[in-house]
Structures are given as C-alpha cells and as structure tokens.
Structure 1
Amino acid sequence: MPQLSLCIPTYSMGGMGAGFLAESFEILTRQSFTDFEVVVSDQSDDEAVAEVCASFSDRLQIRHIWNHEGKRQASGNVNNAMRQAEGDIIKILFQDDYLNGGDALKTIVEAIGITGKWHLCGSGVSRGGGAVERPMVPRLTSKLKFGKNTVSSPSVLAMRRELLEFFDEELIWLMDVDLYQRLWDRLGDPVISPETLVVNRVHAGQVSASVSPELRRHELRYMRSKRERPLAFGDWLEYCRQVLKAR
C-alpha cells in the first residue's frame, strides 16, 4: 500500500477540468516524495478526464473511478475517492487546485510523522495560473462552522486513514468548515505546516462563485441544527452575521 493517497474529485468543469487536472499531474510527477497513489473520482459527462489519467499512467500511480451514481456535488464525489484510497495518509486535492513546489508532499508527510492525526497546510491563490498571492496560514476558531473560513479550501487537508472523517453530503458551501470543526472536536488540534504548499486557482467556473443566497441560508440553518449544545454568544453573533450577508 502507498504511504499517501491523493483524493481528487473531478468533473468536466465547463470544459476546463481536464486541463486543470493535467497541470496538477505535471506537478505531481516532479514530487520528491514518490510513495503515493492518485485516486480520481470522475463525474464528467465526457472522456476528457479519463484520457488525462490514462496519459499520465506511466508516470503516476493513478486509479480512475467513474462516479455517475452518486450525488453530483463535491462532497459526495470526494467521499467516493476517499473510500477507495489505500494509503495511510489521505490527502485531499481538488481538481482546480495544485501543489506548490516539488517538496510539498514530502513536507506534509514529514510534518504528520508517526503520531500526527490530521494536518493543515498554508495556501495561496492564483489567477490564471500566475503568481501565487495572498498566502494564508490555517487558523482554527469556533466561528469556522458558520462560514468564517480561516483555514482555506479542502485541498489543505490531510488525515490518517484510520481516523478518517467524511464530508457531509448535505453541504456544498460549508462542506469544508463543517469537516474541520468535526475533526477538531474529535481529534484535537491539527499539525499545521505554515508553508504555502497548496495553490487555490481563482476562475469563473469555481463552485464558490455560484453559491446562491438561498443555499447559504439553508446551510447555515442546517449547521445550526447540527450543534448539540446551545451556541456561545460569539458563535451566535457570527451565525447572525452570516445570515444577514446571505440576504
């Protein structure tokens, strides 16, 4: 079994998905850490992503899995990839994101070490694949669960497979912060690598650009209903603030 599994949920992404994936794969071929597999869960309606996987199969250990039966959204698709993963460490990498530098996976694996339970790394953003901007070091706060994302996208996350938590498939906008909160509650503080190891690509087709106010309000109410205990005053204020922003 590989030491690490990269779990990548994919879809056609308006014709851009295969190109983004190929760019990410090129970076993976240059990683100094090589004991990893790539698990691609594909909800595309064409063969473009599958063809990219096939074209890299001589340089990367790739398993391409069709996922036309599950929910057509990111949380269900990445869960499908995670269920197929065999590595000791499960690393999320979204299709339009990519690793920053050839030592990114090495840094993550060394940071987790033998005893680390879950891991977050620094990230930045790139417009059109250009310079990396707005470096961000993950920081956990109780306001996470209501959308104040001080961590970044799911691509900064890695977990031990034996301690795996799945994304809530009822969520789209808040799928990442909900999982960060649940991991924090269950496993305690993560190992954090402050280096910018992941780049989030900014583009017109990304899911966050199409989240409606109605969806935001629905997910905020859902997140509030998941809390077993009454909200602390600061959390209640953040909930109200996010609801007002979603009007």
Structure 2
Amino acid sequence: MKIPLVSICIPIYNGALFLEEALNSAISQTYPNLEIIISDDHSVDNSLEIVESFKNITQIPFYIYSHIPNGIGANWNNSIKYASGDYIKFLFQDDLMRSDCIEKMMELAVSDNDIGLVYCKRTILHDPNNLEHKAWVNYGGVLHKKWQYLEINEGVLDGKKYLSDLYLMNSPLNKIGEPTAVLLNKKCFQKVGLFDENLKQTLDIDYWYRLMKYYKIGFIDKELVSFRLHNDQASSVNQRNQIDETALLTQKFYKSLFWCFHPKKRWKLFKSHSWIGNSVRYLKGIFK
C-alpha cells in the first residue's frame, strides 16, 4: 500500500533566531514519507544558510524557493504551489512539532476520505514573566473548549457542525489553532482555493471556516506541536499595528457561509451586512 507523501511547508522570513529548532523538529519526524518545502520571502539574515546546512544532514528531500515579498499569505500560498505531497503540514519558523506529530495526524487523516483538516492541541512557548503572554495563554491556550454546543473529543466531526455552533463567531475567532497545529489534505485547495492574500491577521481563520463547509474535521486530543509567542512574530506586529479584520471577515462569511451558521448568527449577519440592515441603520441615524 502506497504511503501518502506529506509536504512540510515552512514559509520563512528573517527567521534565524528559532529556525534551527523548527527544522530539527521537521527532520526528526517518525512518519516515513516526507518532503520539506521552504518558501523564503527574501530574508536578509542567515535563514537560508541555516536551511542549506540541514540539506546535508537528512535524507528528506529539501526544496528551497525564493519568493518576492507580498505579505504572509502569498508566502504561505507559494509553499503550497510547490508542494508535491498528498497532504500539507505547515510548520512556521518559530514553532516545533513533536517527533510523532505527522504520524499521529496521518493516522486520523487517512481513516476517512472526507476529512479535509486534522488539528491538535498545542503547547504554548512563552515568557512566563511577560504579563501579555500569560494573559494570552490563559485566554487562548485551550481552544477546543471554546464552543457552545460542540463537545470536541478526539475523532471526526462534519465541518458544518462547527459552522453551526452558536459560539463560532465569538472570541477567540480561531478555535482550531495556528497553521502549525493543522494538517491539510491537498485536495482541499482545489475545492476551497488558496489562502486569501488580502488578509493579514485572520487568513487562517478564514480558511478553516471555508474548508468546514465541504469537509470533515479531525481532532487529536494531544499536544503534538508547540506554538511560540514572541514580540517579533507577525501576529504580534499586526496587533501592535491595530489590524482588525473582523468586519472584513464577517462580510465574507455573509456572502459565502450564511446558510451554514446558527440562526442567531445569521440574523446578526443579516442586520450587519444586508442592504436592508444597512438601510435601517441609515434611517435610524437620520431620525435620531
């Protein structure tokens, strides 16, 4: 029986500080059929030197592609375009995978052809003396318990069950996790498309929701990855720059996912984004 190829996609940009740790976790995987795709956004530090050094210490095929910088979404998508695998496993330059991460995820992924996404719990690497980090971990560290009706246990659920949960759009919007916590069937990109390059902060959330409309979702109740919090990562920079894409996201969901949502959420979206709702708000403003 053919063992599916998994592409470990690592988009990088000036990631030298933690990149060696990330790459060590990639080449230490127990899963037997891998390739590593590096998409570099013209790093000006020694990231590429670190990557080149790893090509000589592993038998896993390494492919390095230089990419003209055009935002994080373009770099993610570039790595996908060059991936030959049946499955995509993202690993970000700051993060880590447990050695059996891909093996465990693939066991679940191949159990049902309708599974498009498998995700797991994650360990949060952070500065325990940083109050913002501590608050973030307390709030967003255990994501699978943030749903209203869904009881998420290890196994598989129809993606539409996630979309119909009353708490779907409640904070935190991302109740799946960062791309490092996710394994994707590559066929999803043919059906759903690539990541939205117009988004800076929420492109992963947008993609998870879009995928849920068509595929089943698998969950592994183990911390198979480590997500690193630090002040120079893209999400932290975006937060400091006060990038808030909530309104843009809800507009997208109103157009494409409206009938998948809980009735109360549909009503809220209708009031916010339909021409009727906009007209009512306009008239209320006039007659205040």
Tell me the TM-score normalized by structure 1.
Answer: 0.80
Distance (whole Å) between structure 1 residues aligned to residue 4 and residue 175 of structure 2: 31
Deviations along 1:109-141, one digit per CA (max 9) or x if unpaired, are 111115233211211201269xxx776354645
Distance (whole Å) between structure 1 residues aligned to residue 20 and residue 170 of structure 2: 33
Aligned to 2:219: 192
- Asked if 1:222 is matched to 2:248, the reply is yes
- Asked if 1:107 is matched to 2:104, the reply is yes
Distance (whole Å) between structure 1 residues aligned to residue 6 and residue 243 of structure 2: 34
Deviations along 1:93-113, one digit per CA (max 9) or x if unpaired, are 1111110x2211110111111
Compute the displacement of 1:224 (Å).
Answer: 2.3
Compute the displacement of 1:8 (Å).
Answer: 1.2
Aligned to 1:7: 9
Aligned to 1:175: 203
Q: Given the alignment, which residue of 137, 156, 170 partners 2:181? A: 156
Compute the displacement of 1:198 (Å).
Answer: 1.2
Compute the displacement of 1:149 (Å).
Answer: 1.8
109-118 vs 90-99, which moves further? 109-118
Distance (whole Å) between structure 2 residues aligned to residue 147 and residue 137 of structure 1: 8
Distance (whole Å) between structure 2 residues aligned to residue 20 and residue 147 of structure 1: 26
Aligned to 1:243: none
| 2:12/2:43 contact within 8 Å kept | no
Matched length? 226
Aligned to 2:61: 61
Aligned to 1:44: 42
Distance (whole Å) between structure 1 residues aligned to residue 72 and residue 170 of structure 2: 18
Distance (whole Å) between structure 2 residues aligned to residue 5 and residue 145 of structure 1: 33
SS in 1 for 2:214: helix
Note closer, same or farther for the CA distance 1:210–1:47 as it changes in structure 2 (3 Å cut): closer
Note closer, same or farther for the CA distance 1:150–1:61 as it changes in structure 2 (3 Å cut): same
SS in 1 for 2:213: helix
Distance (whole Å) between structure 2 residues aligned to residue 45 and residue 78 of structure 1: 15
The alignment yields a C-alpha RMSD, in angstroms, of 2.8
45-54 vs 75-84, which moves further? 45-54
> Given residue 234 of structure 2, which amino acid in structure 1 is its aligned partner?
V
Aligned to 2:96: 98
Compute the displacement of 1:145 (Å).
Answer: 8.7
Deviations along 1:203-244, one digit per CA (max 9) or x if unpaired, are 11112212257520xx2222122122487434739x99xxxx
Distance (whole Å) between structure 2 residues aligned to residue 20 and residue 37 of structure 1: 20
SS in 2 for 1:203: coil
Aligned to 1:127: 126
Note closer, same or farther for the CA distance 1:118–1:220 as it changes in structure 2 (3 Å cut): same
Deviations along 1:162-201, one digit per CA (max 9) or x if unpaired, are 22242111111111111110000122x3111111111110
SS in 1 for 2:51: helix
Distance (whole Å) between structure 2 residues aligned to residue 32 and residue 93 of structure 1: 16
Larger radius of gyration: 2
Tell me the TM-score normalized by structure 2.
Answer: 0.70
Aligned to 2:17: 19
SS in 2 for 1:215: coil
Aligned to 1:136: 142
In structure 1, list runs of 5 or more residues that go unmatched. 241-247
Q: Percent identity?
A: 23
| 2:101/2:224 contact within 8 Å kept | yes
Distance (whole Å) between structure 1 residues aligned to residue 35 and residue 20 of structure 2: 16
Aligned to 2:236: 209
Deviations along 1:66-117, one digit per CA (max 9) or x if unpaired, are 002x51x221111100011001111111111110x22111101111115233
Runs (4+) of structure 1 exceeding 6 A deviation are none
> Given residue 152 of structure 1, which amino acid in structure 2 is its aligned partner?
G
> Given residue 183 of structure 2, which amino acid in structure 1 is its aligned partner?
A
Distance (whole Å) between structure 2 residues aligned to residue 181 and residue 144 of structure 1: 10
